[in-house]
Structure formats: structure tokens, C-alpha cells
Amino acid sequence: EPEVTQTPSHQVTQMGQEVILRCVPISNHLYFYWYRQILGQKVEFLVSFYNNEISEKSEIFDDQFSVERPDGSNFTLKIRSTKLEDSAMYFCASSETSGDTGELFFGEGSRLTVL
């Protein structure tokens, strides 16, 4: 069964460092998403991406964040200068262009710890 894969599963970094989280969406999906969950809090939407551009972003997704689809398979989230409050689980998801709205397929998540 096709699945969304994410790497790394866990990354520890120092405050101020750049981090790149990687995702391989399901191959025939065209919408891609990043969500995050700070420990004990809600799963929060960060950004959605379609046709090689951001289609929607939340207020969390400020200038420190960027997304890219550098090739036909990967979808990356970059945090330029990490802060302590960026520590969270980051989930990548993908969905088809047609079909039921809202049926997202999620990866297992990448846990980011900023020290």
C-alpha cells in the first residue's frame, strides 16, 4: 500500500541552526501539506503546496519557514534559524486533486528537538 515517508524520524539541533525535514508523498498525489504538533497541543496546519507553489499557509508559517519540491518525489520543509519553540512533531501529508475533500494521507512524523 502506498504511503507517505518522512526523514529523519528524530532530529536534535542547536538553536539558530537550519533544519530540513524531508517527505516523499504518495506518487500520484498532487497536494502536499506540513502540519506540526507541539507536545500535548493540537495538530496545527502550517502550509499546503500545489503545482509548485504555496496554495495556503497559516500564521505560524513565517519567513523562517520555507517549502520546496526540488525534484519529482521529495517535498521539504526548511526552518532557517530554529528556535526553542520550534520543537515539535512535524507531519507531512498528501492528497489527490480529486476525490473526497480532506482525505489526507500522513507520514509517521519527524520529531524536532531544539536545544
Partner 1 sequence: GDSVTQMEGPVTLSEEAFLTINCTYTATGYPSLFWYVQYPGEGLQLLLKATKADDKGSNKGFEATYRKETTSFHLEKGSVQVSDSAVYFCALNSNTGRRALTFGSGTRLQVQP
Q: Which residues bind partner 1 (CB under 8 A)?
A: 3-4, 6, 31, 33, 35, 37, 40-45, 48, 55-56, 58, 91, 93, 95, 100-109
Nearer to partner 1, 30 or 66 (CB): 30
Pairwise CA distance, residues 21 & 13, whole Å: 12
Nearer to partner 1, 34 or 86 (CB): 34
How far, CA to CA in Å, does 43 sit from each of 18, 38, 97, 114?
A: 23, 8, 23, 19
Minimum Å gap between C-beta 81 and partner 1 is 25
In three-state secondary structure terms, 27 is coil
Pairwise CA distance, residues 26 & 3, whole Å: 6
Pairwise CA distance, residues 39 & 89, whole Å: 8
Nearer to partner 1, 48 or 82 (CB): 48
Nearer to partner 1, 14 or 102 (CB): 102
Minimum Å gap between C-beta 68 and partner 1 is 19
**Residues 107 and 23: beta-carbon distance below 8 Å:** yes
Minimum Å gap between C-beta 56 and partner 1 is 6
